[in-house]
């Protein structure tokens, strides 16, 4: 993911990114060190667990945690990922209001694909973020 989503990424002999530039869409930061980067689960693993993933097989949980097909994994700044933690959209939303539409549609896409349930408060927060779509 770091190689895919970064620019000018160089890897060491173990294929780990050691240099590059990444963009964090949640806070708009340009990250010039792999040490400042985290991979975020749009729908956090703990949140998915509470939304129905606890009933899944180990294989399905592994597929969810490593899903590169849907918009589940994002390269973001370490600081913003720590601030988000395992929170849902009713408790946390990207500080960049310009990213709310994309965040909400990504959240909905992931939840729909994996058939995870949505609470009333979560739905209300998502609807509010979707109002920023153009």
How far is it, in rounded angstroms, from Cα 66 to Cα 73?
Answer: 8
Report percent pLDDT > 70 for the chain.
100
**Is residue 60 scored above 90 in pLDDT?**
yes
Q: Dihedral, CA atoms, 66, 37, 99, 92, nearest 10 degrees? A: 80
Query: How remote is the C-alpha of 93 from its chain's centroid?
Result: 11
> Cβ distance 76 to 24 under 8 Å?
yes
Taking 90 as the threshold, does the pLDDT of residue 110 lie above it?
yes
- Residue 19's pLDDT band, with cuts at 50, 70 and 90, is confident
Q: CA-CA distances (angstroms) from residue 49 to 38, 55, 64, 108, 109?
A: 21, 8, 11, 16, 17
Token digits for 12?
């060491």
Flag whether pLDDT at 57 surpasses 90. Answer: yes
15, pLDDT greater than 90: no
- Of the candidates 29, 124, 46, 34, the one whose C-alpha atom is nearest the C-alpha of residue 85 is 46
pLDDT in tens, 78-105: 999 999 999 999 999 999 999 999 999 9
Give SS3 for 96: coil
The structure tokens listed for 115 are 């058939």
* Helix H or strand E encompassing 110: helix 100-113
User: In sequence order, what are the beta bridge partners of 7?
Assistant: 21
Q: What is the three-class DSSP state of 3?
A: helix
Q: Is the pLDDT of residue 1 over 90?
A: no
Higher pLDDT among residues 18 and 114, named by residue: 114
- Residue written as token pair 């849902």: 88
């Amino acid at each position: 993911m770091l190689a895919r989503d970064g620019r000018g990424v160089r890897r060491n002999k173990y294929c780990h990114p050691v240099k590059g530039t990444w963009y964090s869409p949640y806070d708009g930061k340009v990250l010039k060190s792999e040490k400042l980067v985290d991979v975020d689960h749009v729908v956090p693993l703990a949140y998915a667990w509470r939304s129905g993933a606890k009933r899944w097989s180990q294989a399905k949980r592994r597929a969810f945690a490593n899903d590169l097909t849907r918009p589940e994994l994002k390269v973001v700044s370490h600081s913003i990922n720590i601030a988000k933690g395992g929170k849902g959209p009713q408790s946390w939303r990207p500080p960049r209001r310009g990213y709310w539409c994309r965040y909400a549609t990504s959240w909905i896409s992931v939840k729909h694909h994996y058939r995870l349930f949505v609470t009333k408060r979560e739905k209300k927060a998502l609807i509010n973020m979707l109002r920023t779509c153009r």
